[in-house]
């Protein structure tokens, strides 16, 4: 049965349905970057609140800035913006829910003006973002805004027809300022250390170039809460669509699958109201820093510690890699010995229990999370999820073998062929640049570790790290993943 509002009443329990009427809602959030994670996380929390009969004026208007977003918009519009969320765990009783919190979606390429109008609408009080780690136009090595990017230069020259997220945000905020409309809160939901702070710096950097008076107004009126977000959400596959149809009779063009676990820790810094998300499990705090450090270094960092080694070994799913005794032991050792000593106490969190939970989540076979998803965009992920840990290890004179192995595995992964001789694609906007780093085996160490946009300068400047990197790279080449891990863990 095709998913739409006309067919909702025909869906049988245990499928959970929206408990509110669509015509009783009003859009209060504009979300830029509607993908699987947003629909499994922020939209799901908002749906839970709306199902309580609350926050009906906080429905979500999706926003797509890229041509590739049209496929998502078309899938949703054909279903009255409904979609199915399926929680997959290894225990029985997986939850299936139809979500209606997203009530529309605008594409920038259809009408930039319509999008600016929506973002300038007084009813929109929060603009949220999942635009990926690389979408903030920040140089990871210097921490500075990349004003020279073509879309940024275009928007500075043509503010009435923007292309970039910052061009659209400034155009809308300029309109709000001129009309006396209160500003919105700009809320990042991306996996970035201090994501609110990064968003603030990027937007103000653009605004100062475009209109310094507007930049001053933004600084005084817009808030940028930091957030820690967490829910493993694999890419939707045709197999997921087929399973949904066979098991539940739902034809959904783009369902979302995710793990049962979800967490959202959010600074309570909103300038124009917010939903009462605390009623549905969101933890509000004055300082999200210890939570985001824990999550980014333990979960995201350990994901990278696992993924390139697992891919080289020939695995393609996270649970397959975790079923490998050596890989599983390596990941836990990396968590315990390299990351945990760097973490400050986290209020209300038992770190040993948190790490146990992470191992269980990584082992979730039902979710079938793809290693390719985690491998993707390594040039953006490594500087945020791994390099800060490595820098601290170097500063503290700590053991470097495990951290160096992670970087060596990424370098060898860039060759595009695993231990079984199977070729694969490198999913990274900078794939060509990264692969050029490893073209010449004689210069590989200097080129990889000297790539400051990814690794900064500390790795190449550390003779101990350089030596550990070369040892691990040589071992991976000559002995393979398993023998390298066996020697390292002995």
Q: What whole-number distance in Å separates Cα of residue 448 and Cα of residue 105?
A: 41
Angle at 326 between CA 449 and CA 305, to 5 degrees: 30
Domain CATH for 214:
3.40.50.720
- The pLDDT of residue 319 is 97
Does one domain contain both 93 and 149?
yes
What was the pLDDT predicted at 94? 82
Point out the domain boundary residue: 268, 285, 302. 285
CATH code where residue 326 lies:
1.10.1040.10
- Mean pLDDT, residues 188-216 taken together: 97
Let me know if 332 is exposed, middle or buried by CB neighbors in 10 A (0-12, 13-18, 19+): middle
**pLDDT tens per residue across span 157-170:** 999 999 999 999 99
Q: Are residues 247 and 344 in the same domain?
A: no
Query: Which pLDDT value is given to residue 133?
Result: 87
Answer whether residue 134 shows pLDDT above 90. no
State how many domains the chain has.
Answer: 2
One domain for residues 296 and 279? no
pLDDT of 13 above 90: no
Looking at the predicted structure, is the pLDDT value of residue 230 above 70?
Answer: yes
93: confidence class by pLDDT, cuts 50, 70, 90: low
Query: Does position 208 have pLDDT exceeding 70, yes or no?
Result: yes
The pLDDT of residue 344: 93
Largest CA distance in the chain: 67
pLDDT at 131 over 70: yes
Q: Is 217 found in the same domain as 182?
A: yes
Q: What is the pLDDT of residues 461-481, one digit of tens each?
A: 999 999 999 999 999 999 999
What pLDDT does 141 receive?
Answer: 81
159: which residues sit within 8 A by CB, 6+ positions away?
A: 167, 170, 171, 174, 210
Return phi, psi of residue 398, to 5°. -85, 170
Among 269, 285, 301, identify where a domain stops. Answer: 285
Angle at the Cα of 235 (from 230 to 238), degrees rounded to 5? 145
What pLDDT is attached to residue 92? 63
Same domain, 379 and 444: yes
pTM of the model: 0.93
With pLDDT > 70 as the criterion, what percentage of the chain qualifies?
A: 100
Decide which of 226, 250, 285 is a domain's last residue: 285
Distance of CA 117 to the CA centre of its chain: 27
Calculate the average pLDDT of the chain: 96
Do residue 293 and residue 280 come from a single domain?
no
208 & 273 share domain: yes
CB 150 within 8 A of CB 162: no
The pLDDT of residue 412 is 98
Arithmetic mean of pLDDT, 372-386: 96
Specify whether 271 is located in the same domain as 402.
no
226 shares a domain with 333:
no
Residue indicated by tokens 């951290």: 403
Res 4 pLDDT > 80: yes
Please give the residue range of the domain that contains residue 404.
Answer: 289-489
Strand order in the sheet with 256-258: 96-99, 83-87, 256-258
Answer yes or no: do 243 and 342 share one domain: no
Do both 42 and 112 map to the same domain? yes
Residues ≥6 apart with Cβ < 8 Å to 488: 330, 401, 402, 405, 472
Position 12 scores a pLDDT of: 83
Please indicate, yes or no, whether residues 187 and 70 belong to a single structural domain of this protein.
Answer: yes
């Amino acid at each position: 049965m095709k998913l739409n509002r006309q067919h909702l009443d025909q869906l049988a329990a245990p499928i959970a349905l929206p408990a509110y009427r669509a015509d009783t809602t009003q859009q209060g959030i504009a979300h830029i970057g509607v993908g699987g994670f947003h629909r499994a996380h922020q939209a799901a929390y908002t749906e839970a609140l709306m199902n309580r009969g609350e926050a009906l004026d906080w429905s979500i208007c999706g926003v797509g800035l890229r041509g590739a977003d049209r496929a998502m918009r078309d899938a949703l519009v054909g279903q009255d913006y409904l979609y199915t969320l399926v929680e997959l765990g290894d225990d029985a009783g997986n939850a299936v829910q139809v979500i209606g919190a997203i009530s529309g979606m605008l594409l920038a390429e259809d009408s930039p003006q319509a999008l600016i109008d929506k973002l300038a609408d007084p009813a929109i009080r929060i603009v949220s973002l999942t635009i990926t780690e690389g979408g903030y136009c920040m140089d990871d090595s210097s921490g500075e805004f990349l004003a020279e990017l073509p879309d940024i230069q275009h928007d500075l020259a043509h503010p009435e027809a923007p292309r970039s997220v910052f061009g659209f945000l400034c155009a809308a905020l300029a309109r709000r300022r001129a009309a006396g409309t209160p500003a919105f809160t700009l809320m990042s939901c991306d996996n970035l250390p201090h994501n609110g702070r990064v968003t603030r710096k990027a937007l103000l950097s653009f605004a100062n170039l475009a209109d310094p008076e507007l930049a001053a107004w933004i600084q005084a009126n817009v808030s940028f809460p930091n957030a820690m977000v967490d829910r493993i959400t694999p890419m939707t596959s045709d197999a997921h669509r087929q399973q949904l149809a066979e098991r539940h009779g739902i034809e959904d063009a783009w369902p979302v699958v995710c793990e049962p676990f979800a967490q959202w820790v959010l600074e309570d810094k909103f300038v124009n109201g917010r939903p009462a998300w605390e009623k549905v499990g969101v933890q509000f705090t004055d300082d999200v820093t210890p939570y985001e450090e824990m999550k980014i270094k333990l979960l995201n960092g350990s994901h990278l510690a696992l993924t390139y080694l697992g891919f080289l070994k020939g695995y393609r799913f996270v649970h397959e890699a975790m079923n490998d005794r050596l890989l599983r032991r390596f990941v836990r050792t990396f968590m315990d010995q390299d990351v945990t000593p760097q973490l400050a106490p986290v209020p209300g969190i038992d770190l040993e229990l948190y790490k146990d939970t992470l191992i269980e989540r990584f082992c979730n076979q039902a979710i079938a999370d793809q290693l390719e998803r985690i491998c993707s965009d390594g040039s953006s992920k490594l500087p945020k999820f791994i390099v800060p840990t490595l820098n601290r290890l170097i500063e503290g004179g700590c053991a470097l073998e495990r951290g160096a192995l992670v970087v060596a595995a990424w370098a060898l992964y860039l060759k595009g062929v695993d231990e079984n001789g199977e070729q694969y694609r490198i999913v990274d906007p900078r794939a060509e640049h990264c692969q050029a780093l490893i073209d010449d085996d004689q210069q590989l160490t200097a080129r990889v570790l000297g790539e400051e946009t990814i690794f900064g300068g500390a790795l190449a400047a550390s003779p101990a790290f350089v030596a550990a990197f070369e040892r691990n790279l040589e071992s991976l080449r000559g002995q393979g993943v398993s023998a390298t891990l066996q020697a390292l863990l002995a």
